[in-house]
Amino acid sequence: MARQGVGRLSHSVCLVLTCLSLALHLILALFCLSVLQTSCVIPPPSSCSSSLSFPGTVPHGKQGRSHSLSSQSSSHKLPEKDKKLIQTKMATKVSQRISSRSKLEALFSHPLYNLPRKHLLEDDWLLKLKPKNKGGDSEEEDEEEDSDKSSEDSEWQSDSEEDGYDRANWTRSADTHPAWLRYHLGISRWELYDRNDPSVAEVTQQMATQRILSAVQKSGGTQLKLIMSFPNYGQALLKPMRQERDAETDFNLFYFSDFERHNAEIAAFHLDRVLGFCRIPPVVGRLINITTEIRAITTDHKLSRTFFTSPVGNLCFHGQCEYYCSTENPVCGRPQVLEVSLASMLPDLSLAPRRSWRSPWRRSYSRTKLAPWEKNPDYCDTVKQTPPYNQGTRLVDLIDMVILDFLMSNMDRHHYETFEKFGNDTFLLHLDNGRAFGRHSVDEPSILVPLRQCCRIRRSTLMRLRLLSLPGFRLSDVMRESLSQDPLESVAPLLSVQHLSVLDRRLKTILQAVHTCLEHHDDVIHDDLQGYDNSQLFGVVSL
């Protein structure tokens, strides 16, 4: 009997414990269910993105948390496959926005883009201010000015002030100079502009927004170009939109038969800057009204006679030039609005003469003949023995230009220019890039022939190219971000996705060509970074 009582008691205790356990599990399940059903108010992706500091880096941890919260709020009560798909897409989208907005700043913060500048002597500046008069009572204006001066605080005024030009009060102080004049005074033996010079940004902003006072056709050249004047006495070279941005060059056309592209000029400026060259004058896009900003203000009678209205009511003109200036090849607005590129003018030739050099790898510009370099694989051996390529940096300067041209598929580099003042010891101007970015479906290997024949490249150029091949600094990404700063980007992307993606493909081709040179030649690298620690400059990749 005692054993039966103890057994019954133990069974009762076990039953009570089992009930308590079930009750606790039930309470816990109800609590968890209530938590899962509680709504979470999550900001939309745009709000989350706008709260980040762009451009810049995202604090580690915050990025992952925003990704997971956004994914949970959007994928609640969805099948598991759909949840994973949405999470992946949103994580990819947010990470792309973060990386694309920060890569350009990260690139320009890299040591390779912040090397100490060479010490500049007085003769290393293209322009300089004239010294004071011997009497000391008056100041001479700078070389850009050609007017009378009477006292130290006197104003320089133009006879055209009543025509809408700004009242000028230019002294020796840089604070009194317009942005374009400060940009001109900053040109040196080694670079067209300093990337960190605020005057360059001011020049592009003013070209995109200032009132246009005058429009005349630029003489010479094969296609239509206009010179536009602004109230602060600055000028810009205008190239109009001639075809859609995504239109590829007809494969049946020769390289010298294509239209110039306004967006190519803009993209070339940005690419030149991203590569660290800084040898293309500032270029910006703009929408202009053909009636009020060209036709109504031009004093060019030859230009004014070429305006007409198309059959669909668009205002058109064609000007006068060697090619493509006819009613069959007009420039037309929609109906009056026209996309254009505006490139800041270089100092006047009377102040800063330039020398034009025929490129050794100039094409024949013939439908039947080949150029010498196309027939002789050892052509560079002759070039290396010919001044100015037999000494100094002229050959690697030209290779820099070849790399730029190959990336943007520019086959029209028959000449290049330098400032006469600096002789042969200076950089090359990368001017006239309107025939670039014509084809994205194929690359043009002949553009890269100088690199393959000569097997010479600057160390700094090669290191920057390798940097731009890394995922964190991908060339197509930094170019996309850089181009987003242009006003015309709000109308449509300046370069199509295809044109951006081929930059990465072409960059690989360049690096492969250099790798082949290094395998077969010893004297490939021109070391312009002597004295620098390679690991500090580049980090994980070394030469």
Instruction: Please name the helix (run of DSSP H) or strand (run of DSSP E) that holds residue 106, with its range, or none.
Output: helix 80-109
CA angle 46–47–53, rounded 5-degree value: 95
In angstroms, how far is the first alpha carbon of the chain from the final one?
94
346 is in an annotated binding site: yes
429, 357 Cβ separation under 8 angstroms: no
277, 404 Cβ separation under 8 angstroms: yes
Q: Nearest-CA neighbor of 72 among 89, 93, 88, 87? A: 87
345 is in an annotated binding site: yes
56, 109 Cβ separation under 8 angstroms: no
In DSSP notation, 23-66 reads: HHHHHHHHHHHHHHHS------HHHHHHHS-SSSPPPTTHHHHH
CA distance 529 to 470: 21
**Residue 107 CB partners (closer than 8 Å, separation 6+):** 113, 274, 467, 468, 473, 478
Q: Which stretches of 64-144 are assigned E, i.e. beta strand? A: none
- 167-176's contacts with Cβ under 8 Å and 24+ in sequence apart are 168/233, 170/141, 170/142, 170/145, 171/139, 171/141, 172/129, 172/132, 172/139, 172/140, 172/141, 172/142
Q: Which amino acid is located at 130 in the chain?
A: K
C-beta neighbour count of 366 within 10 angstroms? 10
224, 318 Cβ separation under 8 angstroms: yes
Q: Which phi and psi (to 5°) does residue 360 adopt?
A: -60, -25
432 is in an annotated binding site: yes
Cα dihedral 522, 528, 530, 532, rounded to 10, equals: -120
370 is in an annotated binding site: no
C-alpha distances (whole Å) from 81 to each of 73, 76, 318, 431 are 16, 12, 58, 53
Instruction: Cite the active site residues.
Output: 412
C-alpha distances (whole Å) from 470 to each of 136, 473, 476, 534, 542 are 57, 5, 11, 17, 13
Alpha carbons within 13 A on the beta-carbon side of 204:
20
Cite the annotated binding site for Mn(2+) by residue number.
260, 432
Cite the annotated binding site by residue number.
223, 239, 260, 343-346, 417, 432
Cite the annotated binding site for ATP by residue number.
223, 239, 260, 343-346, 417, 432
